[in-house]
C-alpha cells in the first residue's frame, strides 16, 4: 500500500488513504503521514476500525501519550478518553467552544486523535480554525505588536472547583472531574513557532486564555477579543464531517477546534488520545 494524501483545495486539512492503521505505520508510510500532518494541520483516515491496542499503537507512533486531566478515562485504558453523549442527554456538547486542547498545561499536547465509534445520522461536525493562516493575514504592524506578548492560560473557567462543569447538570456519557488544581496558570507566547514546519501561528483561545501578561483586563480583552474573532473568521475555518471508524488527528500547536451539536436524540461515541507536546516557543 502507498500513502495517498488528498488536500482540501481551500488549504486546511487533508484526507489520507492507502494505509491500514490496524497494521500500524512505519518507515516511509509513517514519514509520509507525519509530513502530511505538519503541512495540513488536520488529517483524517476514513474506514479504519481499530481496537484499543491499535489506537494506542497509532498514537505512540507520533510520540508519548499526553496528560489528560479532569476527565475520567476508560476504566482499563488510562490514556483513552471516551467522548460520549447519550440520546437523552441535556448537558452541553463536550468541547462545544473554540479551544486548543489543554493549552493551560506547561507543555500542551502536540496532537489530539479522535476515533469515531458511533456517529449520529445528523449533526456532530467538528470545526477547525487555522491559526497559521490567521497569523499570515494580520498586518506586519500588528504582528510586530504581538510577537513579544505572552498570554495567560488556565483550566479554571471550565474545570475549576467553581467552574462551568462543577455547576452543570444532566451529563450522562462522561465523568468530568473538577478540581482546584485547574486554577493554576501558565503563560505562552501569543505568536507560536511550530517546531516542525517553522511556521508562526496564533496560540490563544476563548476557553483557556485569561489575559495577556503585563496588561490590564480591559487592554487584554481588546486584543484577545479581536484575535478570537479574527482566528475564527470563515476564511480560516473548515467544517469536518464524520463517518464510522474514521480517525482524525489535529495539531493543537496551530489550530483551534469546536465540537458542534445538532444530534439530540442520537448517541455519539468517540475515543480520544493525545500526543505529548513541548513547551511553546515564541516566533
Query: pLDDT tens-digit profile of 18-40?
Result: 999 999 999 999 999 999 999 99
Alpha helix (H) residue ranges in 19-122: 27-40, 52-60
Q: Which of 40, 85, 99, 194 is catalytic?
A: 99
The verdict on whether 101 is a catalytic residue reads yes
pLDDT computed for residue 48 by the predictor: 98
Average pLDDT, the chain: 97
165 neighbors 174 (Cβ within 8 angstroms): no
DSSP 190: S
As a whole-number percent, the residues of the chain with pLDDT over 90 amount to: 98
Between vectors from CA 22 to CA 60 and to CA 197, what angle results, nearest 5°?
45
Q: Which of 40, 115, 188, 257 is catalytic?
A: 257
Q: Which residues pair with 98 in a beta bridge?
A: none
DSSP 235: G
Question: Which residues, 6+ apart, have CB-to-CB distance to 229 below 8 Å?
Answer: none
DSSP 119: -
The verdict on whether 192 is a catalytic residue reads no
Query: pLDDT tens-digit profile of 53-106?
Result: 999 999 999 999 999 999 999 999 999 999 999 999 999 999 999 999 999 999
pTM: 0.97
As a whole-number percent, the residues of the chain with pLDDT over 70 amount to: 100
Give me the torsion for CA of 252, 253, 254, 255, rounded to 10°: 10
Q: Which of 101, 130, 153, 253 is catalytic?
A: 101
Pairing of strands 42-45, 14-17: parallel
Look-up of cell digits 500500500: 1
> What architecture (CATH level 2) is domain 69-242+251-282?
4-Layer Sandwich (3.60)
- Mean pLDDT over residues 198-221, rounded? 98
> Over 70: is that where the pLDDT of 265 sits?
yes
Band (17; pLDDT cuts 50, 70, 90): very high
Q: Go through 179-211 and write b for each residue having 16 or more CB atoms within 10 A of its CB, e for each that does not.
A: beebbeebbbbbbbbbeebebbbbbbbbbbbbb
Query: pLDDT tens-digit profile of 140-169?
Result: 999 999 999 999 999 999 999 999 999 999
Q: How many residues does the chain have?
A: 283
**Residue 126 buriedness (CB in 10 A; 0-12 / 13-18 / 19+):** buried
Helix (H) or strand (E) holding 251: strand 247-251
Q: Which of 132, 153, 157, 272 is catalytic?
A: 272
pLDDT computed for residue 268 by the predictor: 98
pLDDT computed for residue 1 by the predictor: 58
CA neighbor of 241 nearest in space, from 113, 125, 87, 123: 125
Q: How far apart are CA 236 and CA 214, in angstroms?
A: 29
pLDDT computed for residue 204 by the predictor: 98
Amino acid at each position: 500500500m502507498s500513502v495517498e494524501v488528498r488536500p482540501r483545495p481551500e488549504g486546511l486539512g487533508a484526507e489520507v488513504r492507502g494505509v491500514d492503521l490496524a497494521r500500524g505505520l512505519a518507515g516511509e508510510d509513517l514519514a509520509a503521514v507525519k509530513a502530511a500532518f505538519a503541512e495540513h494541520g488536520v488529517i483524517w483516515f476514513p474506514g479504519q476500525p481499530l481496537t484499543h491496542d491499535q489506537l494506542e499503537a497509532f498514537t505512540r507512533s507520533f510520540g508519548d501519550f499526553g496528560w489528560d486531566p479532569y476527565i475520567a478515562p476508560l476504566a482499563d485504558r488510562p490514556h483513552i478518553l471516551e467522548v460520549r453523549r447519550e440520546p437523552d442527554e441535556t448537558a452541553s456538547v463536550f468541547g462545544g467552544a473554540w479551544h486548543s486542547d489543554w493549552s493551560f498545561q506547561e507543555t500542551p499536547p502536540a496532537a489530539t486523535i479522535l476515533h469515531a465509534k458511533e456517529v449520529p445520522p445528523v449533526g456532530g461536525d467538528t470545526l477547525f480554525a487555522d491559526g497559521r493562516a490567521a497569523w499570515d493575514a494580520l498586518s506586519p504592524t500588528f504582528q510586530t505588536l504581538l510577537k513579544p506578548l505572552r498570554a495567560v492560560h488556565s483550566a479554571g473557567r471550565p474545570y475549576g472547583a467553581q467552574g462551568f462543569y462543577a455547576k452543570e447538570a444532566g451529563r450522562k456519557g462522561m465523568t468530568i472531574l473538577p478540581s482546584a488544581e485547574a486554577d493554576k496558570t501558565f503563560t505562552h507566547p501569543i505568536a507560536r513557532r511550530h517546531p516542525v514546519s517553522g511556521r508562526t501561528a496564533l496560540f490563544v483561545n476563548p476557553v483557556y486564555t485569561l489575559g495577556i501578561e503585563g496588561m490590564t483586563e480591559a487592554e487584554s480583552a481588546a486584543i484577545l477579543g479581536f484575535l478570537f474573532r479574527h482566528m475564527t473568521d470563515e476564511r480560516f475555518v473548515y467544517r469536518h464531517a464524520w463517518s464510522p471508524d474514521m480517525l482524525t488527528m489535529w495539531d493543537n500547536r496551530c489550530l483551534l477546534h469546536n465540537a458542534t451539536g445538532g444530534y439530540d436524540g442520537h448517541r455519539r461515541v468517540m475515543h480520544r488520545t493525545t500526543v505529548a507536546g513541548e513547551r511553546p516557543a515564541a516566533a
